Structure 1
Amino acid sequence: MAIGAFAAAAAGQTLKAGASTGDDIAPLANSGDASAAFGVGGDSSIGTAAPEILTVAQVSDAGVEARKLTQSAQLIANRTAKLQKEAEEAAEKARVKYAKPADGTFTSGYGARWGTTHFGIDIAGKFGSPIRAFTDGVVIEAGSASGFGLWVRIQHPDGTISVYGHMDSITVREGAKVKAGDQIARMGNRGQSTGTHLHFEIWDSSGRKLNPVPIMAAKGVRVV
């Protein structure tokens, strides 16, 4: 160690001497500069890089993630159900609530006819053409009937009953729920009939037979 110290001191004196004689080698300002030049010690602010801090990945709780996925799926399901309900409500609002029971020509009205009372209206049309429900209701009878050949009776929410007669065939059953415009039968010429047509009646809740024409007109359905 003594030899090393002596060598260092001698080196210092040599550097000083060289500087005083005008050589190009400039003396270092201080021991800190010397240490920096040799890459050891010295001022910590010179030539020393800050250590890099690595981010440690956060471990997720599987249970929490599963709950998040479940909540997200539930929100999507609720939103889908809401949109579907809104679409159904819009469709229901736009839906026709009353329909002409058959296409064809009005041939006979309500009232006196041939010495008797005709309790409905007749619409002549093409054999086998659709006969439709006048408005929403429940089929309370569908089958054979005296004078009508075949008939269908539908009871509506307000208590009225619509009656359809002389059909060639029936396409609904008793107890079926129908909406306005749904096909319930096909036009024919059964029973006491003078040609292919639909005989249509409307009864009130007590069974009294009403004139269908003004009732239908009040609902926006014209047959005359």
Structure 2
Amino acid sequence: MPVTVPLSSRRPGTSRRRRVASRAATVTAVVTASLGVLTGAELHGSSDSRETRLEAAPDLLAAAPNTDQFAATEPDRFTAFTPPEAQRPQAVPEPVLWEQHRIATEAARPRTVRPVGGVLTSHFGQRWGAMHAGLDFGDPIGAPIAAVTDGVVVEAGPASGFGLWIRVRQDDGTIGVYGHVDDILAEVGQQVRAGDRIATVGNRGYSTGPHLHYEVHHPAAGPIDPLPWLAARGIDVLRSPA
């Protein structure tokens, strides 16, 4: 009975051809990736010439990994390209600088100030048999009067007993009254900020000498003592002004 011997399914040289094909595919992938990086550099303003990149191509081919070891090696890593303009110091636009300055100045400014530089001469309460509903500050005629808080002028002009006055709706909803003023420097509806000059000290109305009479009126309680109200906002009017 004849014996059948199975022939090998592989032809001579098949394994070698596969290794060569695998290596060729790997080289193609590396070259393609490298050319992609070079193309990206050209698009982003790289100073390398085209001739220099072409001369570097044989080196890239020589650096291709061996096919038999490719699976065991770490994949190539490419350095990200940074365009030259991104490496230059970036100047801040002038409008942005001005806005930053404005914000810093606004955050640093006081929200409550002393109304005048003169000393406290009379307190809130009963005086000469009548209610004295504010604080008196002695100061020369013409001395500046400042808005105590941010607010809106709601009245400015003649007033019984005060000669002339200014009334300001303050930032907390109270009304600040400035009486016996000599000159009015603000008008009704004007927005004022703490420290803005709104009038000058006078001696008008029922007054025994030049001074500012300052009151604080609460919407629900009426006139309240300005001394603790100012103290709660960081202003100690009992201390002599600097």
TM-score by length of 2: 0.59
Paired residue for 1:180? 194
2:214 is the alignment partner of 1:200: yes
Structure 1 SS opposite 2:114: coil
Partner residue, 1:155: 169
Q: CA offsets per residue over residues 8-59 of structure 1, 9 Å max, x none?
A: xxxxxxxxxxxxxxxxxxxxxxxxxxxxxxxxxxxxxxxxxxxxxxxxxxxx
Mapped partners of 1:185, 1:212: distance in 2? 19
Kindly report which structure 2 residues correspond to 1:1-224, keeping only aligned pairs within 5 A, or say none: 79-206=93-220, 208-224=222-238
- Aligned residue for 1:100, secondary structure, equals coil
* AA matched with 1:96: P
Does the Cα contact within 8 Å between 2:147 and 2:192 map onto a contact in 1? Answer: yes
Q: Secondary structure at the match of 1:214?
A: helix
- The structure whose Rg is larger is 1
SS of 1:85's partner is helix
SS in 2 for 1:215: helix
CA distance in 2, matches of 1:136, 1:179: 4
- How far did 1:203 drift? 0.7
Number of aligned positions between the proteins: 149
CA separation in 1, counterparts of 2:104 and 2:119?
34
Check conservation: 2:163, 2:204, Cα contact below 8 A: yes
Check whether the contact 2:149–2:171 (CA below 8 A) recurs between aligned residues. Answer: no
Q: 1:83 deviation in Å? A: 2.1
Q: Percent identity, aligned pairs only?
A: 47
Give how far 1:80 is off.
2.8
Counterpart contact for 2:165–2:180, Cα < 8 Å: yes
**AA of the residue aligned to 2:215:** E
What is the aligned-residue RMSD (CA, Å)?
1.6
Counterpart amino acid of 2:236?
Answer: R
Normalization by structure 1: what TM-score? Answer: 0.64
Secondary structure of the corresponding residue to residue 93 of structure 2: helix
Q: Aligned AA for 1:186? A: T
Residue 36 of structure 1 corresponds to which residue in structure 2?
none
1:41-90 C-alpha deviation (Å, 9 max, x unpaired): xxxxxxxxxxxxxxxxxxxxxxxxxxxxxxxxxx98x8333222211110
Which stretches of structure 1, 4 residues or longer, exceed 6 Å deviation after superposition? Answer: none
3-state SS, counterpart of residue 123 of structure 1: strand
Structure 1: unaligned runs, 5 residues or longer: 1-74
Distance in 1 (alpha carbons) for counterparts of 2:143 and 2:204: 14
Asked whether the equivalents of residues 121 and 136 of structure 2 are also in contact (C-alpha less than 8 Å), the reply is yes
CA distance, structure 2, for counterparts of residue 108 and residue 122 of structure 1: 5
